[in-house]
């Protein structure tokens, strides 16, 4: 598996946009009895169907989506991910649990408030585009604004702005049948952006596209997020897509979230054998950061040598160490937090160094160095050692779906 994962920085706020707690969606007769009965709630999917005739598509799921982050929900077909995202705006009515957006109870919303939520606050980008075949690109993009009651001239002006933003300038008068699959998906993305929603919800939007167009669309989403910082909830069954786009990933199985964490946490510390099998073929050096291989620096090592930032991936550090032939300093705002050498970096690649223990040690070392002040001889990080930013294109390569793992 070839994978290019942009280096991420933590969200600047922990303020949640969506907050979900104890969410259930059960299909079948008398669904409300399932979450209310601990005995039934504990049954595995096959036994639950056999005893009650019910299917629990979402089972006791809780998470927060932070403002400005890309929150990815990933899982195989039937894991409950698409049902989950539809519950957020009650396109599917939840059976039990709570959902709030900016502190407002979504399940308590009347029709008027729910309509306002769907039209103004959360926009959905679907897998099958959902374009109106008799309308032009411009009028498809403007459709959401028309529903909002925006005047014709204003909505067409705003629609033209977002047509250009997604790279379709010059195609405003075409109809969906005259577009490629990737172009139609860009129209769907522009339509969602045009209504200026607080949250963008993506339901496997690129799964019908061929690999090259899919990669282009992933990079387009990453670019738009980098430019606008908009909160996104992204549903996918593709692990490489989740690792590339997600600030945090919730991995689902049989309606439950089996692990929620950053890409580095998912790959470096799998919660169980199911997650471990999922990430088995992931190139660890492209996901894990230098903190997993960092050790305290000696006085001589702080004085010079190549430098990388704390957010740099192990792959970037390997390149720096290989070119210089010496350990690389991990530098943050003029302080040397520690060093990484070839042995430790290769240990991360091979999976022989426990990621959680290394990360803990790195954190402790960083705190100790920060408390003692800037290291002697500390130098600013060279520009060439800076990590890739979200949305920056990396080397092309094949994508691997979880079904192939």
Cα 184 from Cα 213, distance rounded (Å): 11
pLDDT at 26: 97
pLDDT at 210: 80
Cα 75 from Cα 257, distance rounded (Å): 9
**DSSP labels, 96-143:** EEEEEETTEESTT--HHHHHHIIIIIEEEE-TT----TTS-HHHHHTH
High-pLDDT (> 90) share of the chain, %: 53
3-state helix, strand, coil in the chain (%, to 5): 40, 20, 40
What are 72-103's pLDDT values in tens digits? 999 998 999 999 999 999 999 999 999 999 99
* pLDDT at position 367 over 70: no
**Sheet with 307-308, side-by-side order of all strands:** 307-308, 328-332, 335-340
How does residue 377 score in pLDDT terms, banded at 50, 70 and 90?
very low
pLDDT at 126: 80
CA distances, 87 to each of 53, 91, 97, 259 (Å): 21, 6, 11, 20
pLDDT at 397: 38
Cα 382 from Cα 123, distance rounded (Å): 41
Compute the average pLDDT of residues 315-324. 92
Cα 327 from Cα 247, distance rounded (Å): 29
How does residue 13 score in pLDDT terms, banded at 50, 70 and 90?
low
What are 104-126's pLDDT values in tens digits? 999 999 999 999 999 889 988 88
pLDDT at 384: 38
**DSSP labels, 236-262:** ES-HHHHHHH-SEEEEEETTEEEEEE-
Compute the average pLDDT of residues 218-241. 88
Find, among 12, 81, 381, the residue nearest to 236 by Cα.
81
What are 129-159's pLDDT values in tens digits? 678 899 999 999 999 898 888 898 999 999 9
Show Cβ contacts of residue 354 under 8 Å, excluding neighbours closer than 6 positions.
Answer: none
Mean confidence (pLDDT) of the chain: 83
Which domains does the chain possess? 65-284 (3.40.50.300), 285-385 (3.10.580)
Choice among 299-303, 345-349, 361-365 with the minimum mean pLDDT: 361-365
Cα 341 from Cα 23, distance rounded (Å): 46
Sign of the Cα torsion 42, 46, 50, 54 reads positive
Rg (CA), the chain: 23
pLDDT at 4: 53
Show Cβ contacts of residue 385 under 8 Å, excluding neighbours closer than 6 positions.
Answer: 306, 307, 308, 309, 312, 316, 320, 328
Compute the average pLDDT of residues 172-180. 92
Show Cβ contacts of residue 285 under 8 Å, excluding neighbours closer than 6 positions.
Answer: 313, 314, 315, 318, 345, 348, 349
């Amino acid at each position: 598996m070839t994978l290019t994962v942009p280096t991420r920085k933590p969200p600047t706020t922990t303020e949640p946009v969506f907050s979900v707690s104890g969410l259930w969606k059960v299909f079948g007769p008398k669904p409300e009895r399932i979450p209310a009965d601990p005995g039934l709630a504990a049954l595995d999917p096959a036994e639950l169907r056999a005893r009650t005739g019910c299917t629990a598509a979402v089972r006791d799921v809780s998470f927060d989506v932070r403002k400005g982050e890309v929150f990815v929900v990933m899982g195989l077909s039937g894991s409950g991910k698409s049902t989950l995202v539809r519950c957020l705006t009650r396109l599917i009515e939840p059976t039990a649990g709570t959902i709030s957006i900016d502190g407002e109870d979504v399940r308590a919303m009347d029709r008027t408030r729910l309509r306002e939520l769907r039209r103004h606050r959360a926009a959905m980008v679907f897998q099958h585009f959902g374009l109106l075949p008799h309308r032009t690109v411009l009028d498809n993009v403007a459709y959401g604004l028309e529903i909002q009651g925006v005047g014709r001239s204003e909505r067409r002006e705003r629609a033209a702005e977002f047509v250009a933003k997604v790279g379709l300038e010059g195609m405003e008068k075409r109809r969906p049948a005259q577009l490629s699959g990737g172009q139609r998906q860009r129209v769907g993305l522009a339509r969602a952006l045009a209504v200026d929603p607080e949250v963008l919800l993506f339901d496997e939007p690129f799964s019908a596209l061929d690999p090259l167009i899919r990669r282009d669309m992933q990079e387009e989403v990453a670019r738009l997020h980098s430019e606008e910082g908009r909160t996104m909830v992204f549903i996918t069954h593709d692990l490489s897509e989740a690792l590339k786009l997600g600030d945090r990933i919730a991995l689902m199985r049989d309606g439950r979230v089996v692990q929620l964490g950053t890409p580095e946490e998912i790959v470096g510390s799998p919660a169980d054998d199911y997650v471990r099998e999922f990430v088995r073929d992931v190139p660890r050096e492209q996901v894990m950061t230098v903190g997993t291989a960092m050790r305290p620096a000696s006085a001589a090592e702080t004085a010079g040598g190549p430098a990388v930032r704390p957010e740099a991936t192990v792959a970037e550090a390997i390149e720096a160490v290989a070119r210089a032939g010496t350990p690389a300093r991990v530098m943050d705002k003029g302080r040397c937090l520690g060093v990484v050498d070839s042995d430790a970096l290769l240990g991360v690649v091979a999976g022989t160094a426990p990621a959680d223990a290394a990360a803990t040690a790195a954190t402790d070392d960083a705190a100790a160095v920060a408390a003692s002040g800037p290291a002697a001889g500390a130098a600013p990080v060279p520009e060439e050692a800076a990590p890739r930013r979200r949305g920056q294109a990396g080397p092309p390569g094949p994508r691997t779906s979880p079904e192939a793992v």
